[in-house]
Copies of this chain bind each other. A is one copy, B any other.
Amino acid sequence: MSFFLKRLSANAALADETLEKLMPSDAEGFDSVLRESMRYSVLSGGKRLRAHLVMEFCALCGGKTEACLPYAAGIEMMHAFSLIHDDLPCMDNDTLRRGMPTNHVKYGESTALLAGDALSLYALETLANNTYCNDTQNLQAVRLLSAYAGCFGMCGGQQIDLQSEHKQIAKDELETLVNKKTGALFAAACELGCIAAGNDAKKRETARLFGLTTGLAFQIADDLLDLHASAEKLGKTPGKDAESGKSTFVSLLGETEAEAYASSLCKQAKELLDVFGDSDAKESLCAYCDFIITRDH
């Protein structure tokens, strides 16, 4: 296994362990099924890319891993919330996620709705309760993630996505959509790492740009995968975007140009890291840029 894949998998294991510890698991009470459904979606694996970015940027800025683990767990909870609600019948109406039945298929629509709601709240609660960081850091973390996930960030991106169905949109509009829907959480992940390491404003701005740039590259790679990969490999239903008439980078640019665009974004993202001195974290983040555009699922 490469240096990068070893590091990614070690970080994913740390994230899983932290989530396992932090997610409520009591089986008492009529509402225990709600907690069970939250755990179902949060602890269903996944690459933990967002948690990985929190940890790498924390290391890049000279912070200690343990200081950022609750932030890493919190952003994975926020991501899981967005997936649960995105899969609901009134949204993408998807039945398969990471090769498993989606939350509403398993627990019913009402419980899935509440599980998403409660996860989003629990994500911010987890940030606010990070005992390794001080009150000001935790408050910065809450401000950041609530803003980036909210109506000007991820939720705003999902709304644009809804408005764009069965409509040809321009490339810059698609970029705005992706920056909000996908990029915002990646940017939040990178910045959360900086906050845990001491909250340097200049480093945070670089981290934000790295998150957005790689987020865009990630989405283009996703569009390309959606074209070729099987449901088995993807762990979700492929070809949904084409079916719902949504514009993608592939439909707008064609396959070859989309690939070239992803590569140029990958290069830009690496250049952003030039302001940081050499470190394992920097090397790993450069390899991350290559990974997101070459992965097969």
Contact = CB atoms under 8 A, between A and B. Distances in A.
Interface residues of A, number: 53
Given A91-B113, A110-B90, A135-B139, A118 B31 contact: no
A173 B88 contact: no
Contacts of A38: 151
Interface stretch (A122-130, A224-232, A243-251, A269-277): A122-130
Interface stretch (A49-57, A58-66, A154-162, A289-297): A154-162
A116 B88 CA distance: 14
B156 A31 contact: yes
A87 to B, nearest CB: 12
Interface stretch (A140-148, A234-242, A260-268): A140-148
Interface in A140-198: 142-143, 146-147, 149-152, 155-160, 162-164, 173, 176-177, 180
Given A85-B117, A110-B162, A117-B117, A124 B122 contact: no
A13 interface: no
A88 B156 CA distance: 20
Contacts of A136: 135
Contact of A88 (B113, B142, B151): B113
By secondary structure, the A interface counts as helix
B111 A159 contact: yes
A43 interface: no
A155 B122 CA distance: 11
A29 to B, nearest CB: 7
A33 interface: yes
Contact of A117 (B31, B116, B177): B116
A24 interface: yes
A124 B157 CA distance: 20
Nearest to A148: B121
A11 interface: no
A210 to B, nearest CB: 23
Contacts of A110: 90-91, 162
Interface of A: 24, 29-31, 33-35, 38, 81, 85, 88, 90-91, 109-111, 113-114, 116-118, 120-122, 124-125, 128-129, 135-136, 138-139, 142-143, 146-147, 149-152, 155-160, 162-164, 173, 176-177, 180
Query: Top 10 A-B pairs ranked by shortest CB distance?
Result: A125-B146, A118-B151, A34-B159, A31-B156, A90-B109, A121-B150, A118-B155, A31-B159, A30-B160, A30-B163
5 contacts: A30-B173, A85-B114, A117-B155, A120-B120, A135-B135
